[in-house]
Amino acid sequence: MYNEVYASDNSGNRTVFDANTVNPIAASGQTKATATAGDDLTLTVVNGATYALTGIDTGVLLSITGVTSAAANIEWVAPANTTIIIKIPTDKTTLYLEGTVTSKNIYLRRIL
């Protein structure tokens, strides 16, 4: 009778409709600066957790498989100034990433 509209994370789980309105877990934020565009960076994450990620003035390439300099490893792409929601698989604790612009910040907040 009614059509329901909802958003899903990369695992198909329902999540907040507008990623910019997430309510993060207190003191869960992490920041990573892109010293040089294309540098391989890592962040430690909680396995099975859900995160909101934002790149300020930089696109972000993300992976849980390995370094993003290997194109086959890129699982997510976040456009600049956009927040995306990702769910970390239960057997992973490292998030690999790279920014597309030099000297910009990437912010990661745990939401579940």
The DSSP call for residue 77 is E
Q: Which residues pair with 55 in a beta bridge?
A: 106
CA distances from 110 to 8, 27, 42, 105 (A): 16, 9, 16, 17
Model confidence pLDDT, tens digit, residues 74-99:
999 999 999 998 999 999 999 999 99
| CATH architecture of structural domain 7-110 | Sandwich (2.60)
41/67 Cα distance (integer angstroms): 8
Quick one: pLDDT at residue 8? 72
26/58 Cα distance (integer angstroms): 25
Quick one: pLDDT at residue 24? 84
Q: Which token pair is 19?
A: 């990623």
> Are the beta carbons of 103 and 63 closer than 8 angstroms?
no
Q: Where are the domains of the chain?
A: 7-110
- What percent of the chain is predicted at pLDDT more than 90? 65
Model confidence pLDDT, tens digit, residues 21-74:
677 888 999 999 999 999 999 999 999 999 999 999 999 999 999 999 898 999
Q: What is the pTM of this model?
A: 0.84
Whether 5 has a pLDDT exceeding 80, the answer reads no
